[in-house]
Amino acid sequence: MSEPRGPVDSSKVPRFAGPATFARLPRLDEVERCDVAVVGVPFDSGVSYRPGARFGPSAVREASRLLRPYHPGLAVSPFAALQVADAGDIVCNPFDIGQAVEMIEDAATSLMAGGTRLVTIGGDHTVALPLLRSVAKRHGPVALLHFDAHLDTWDTYFGAEYTHGTPFRRAVEEGVLDTEALSHVGTRGPLYSSRDLDEDRRLGFGIVTSADVMRRGLDETIGALRQRIGDRPLYVSIDIDVLDPAHAPGTGTPEAGGLTSRELLEILRGLAGANLVGADVVEVSPPYDHAEITSVAAAHVAYDLVSLFAIKEGS
């Protein structure tokens, strides 16, 4: 098997030049095989407040130019351990949410057909549902680790079943999630009523709030999450608004009191060796992203997710 083709050499091509792919990696059509594909889904027709996440994939790619090939926190060179490539963007209908969901599912399923794992950059959180459907076709119902300020298990908005606030209720109803291993991390802020929490528990979710992370500390938090996940196939879905607005102002529905970017990255690194089968980073909205703070955070999150795949490959 040929050695993986890695990023453009920054000692020969300045970081502000060269290809605009994620981490300046090769495009999918430039490699013979692909272990992990980074793919964008520029879709935000499911948002309930501020739009703009359709521009998230391109902004995160631009912010990823500064990523380097060795990850000291996980002691791995992900682009040398795996063939990672940028698969471009999934095209989906911005005027028909139902059709867009089907188009995302079909495209993701096609990308995964040869065993490729996906790290997806959104887009709003609606895109998680078709991605979970595609992963479940290969692995069956999967464990879910959901980082978010919000539950995203509401039933409908204005009668619409497919929105960025409903993907995980639909996923439970469709049987693509393992209801013995579902966790929210970083939730906070006001709800419509206490019934939101009752409904969420009924669906099978456990909750680790941002305040819980602060009080318990990272090691206890990671230990509890790892115990709940076990060795099940795991999907990680990260709404960037899990971060406090100080760390991620560029998002559609910000909430005060969130995680720091350091806390989020350390929790992800605590998943090293888990049976990760897919992941997404969503809700980066560049129009509200002062000095690219949010895009930079999301680029590092995506890099850590790719690195987790590399750790698993070598374990």
% of the chain at pLDDT higher than 90 = 97
pLDDT at 236: 98
For the cut 60, the answer to whether the pLDDT of residue 212 exceeds it is: yes
For the cut 90, the answer to whether the pLDDT of residue 195 exceeds it is: yes
Mean pLDDT, the chain, whole residue set? 97
For the cut 70, the answer to whether the pLDDT of residue 315 exceeds it is: no
Instruction: Tell me if 12 is assigned to some domain.
Output: no
Instruction: Tell me if 15 is assigned to some domain.
Output: no
Calpha distance 85→24 (Å, rounded): 9
Pairwise pLDDT comparison (303 vs 314), residue with the higher score: 303
Calpha distance 298→283 (Å, rounded): 10
pLDDT at 165: 97
% of the chain at pLDDT higher than 70 = 99
Beta bridge partners of 238: 147, 281
CATH code at position 305: 3.40.800.10
Could you give the C-alpha distances from 67 to 180, 236, 259, 289, in angstroms and in order? 36, 21, 22, 19
pLDDT in tens, 225-269: 999 999 999 999 999 999 999 999 999 999 999 999 999 999 999
Helix, strand, coil distribution of the chain in percent, nearest 5:
40, 20, 40
Phi, psi (rounded to 5 degrees) for 31: -125, 150
The answer on whether 212 is annotated among ligand-binding residues is: no
The answer on whether 71 is annotated among ligand-binding residues is: no
Instruction: Tell me if 306 is assigned to some domain.
Output: yes
* Three-state SS at 111: helix
pLDDT at 130: 98
Instruction: Tell me if 157 is assigned to some domain.
Output: yes
The answer on whether 300 is annotated among ligand-binding residues is: no
Query: Apex CA 315: angle with CA 218 and CA 275, to 5°?
Result: 60
The answer on whether 164 is annotated among ligand-binding residues is: no
| DSSP notation for 145-188 | EEE-SS------BTTBSSSTTSHHHHHHHTT-EEEEEEEEEEE-
Among positive and negative, which fits the CA dihedral 203, 208, 209, 210? negative
Instruction: Tell me if 4 is assigned to some domain.
Output: no
- Over residues 201-227, the mean pLDDT reads 98
pLDDT class of 314 with cuts at 50, 70, 90 = low
pTM: 0.97
Instruction: Tell me if 302 is assigned to some domain.
Output: yes
The answer on whether 244 is annotated among ligand-binding residues is: no
Q: Which two tokens stand for residue 295?
A: 């895009």
Count of domains forming the chain: 1
- Over residues 267-280, the mean pLDDT reads 98
Q: Which two tokens stand for residue 257?
A: 């009191």
pLDDT at 312: 72
Instruction: Tell me if 2 is assigned to some domain.
Output: no
Q: Which domain holds residue 103?
A: 26-314
pLDDT class of 2 with cuts at 50, 70, 90 = confident
Task: Work out whether strand 36-41 and strand 84-89 pair parallel, antiparallel, or are unpaired.
Answer: parallel
Q: Which two tokens stand for residue 280?
A: 């997404």
Instruction: Tell me if 21 is assigned to some domain.
Output: no
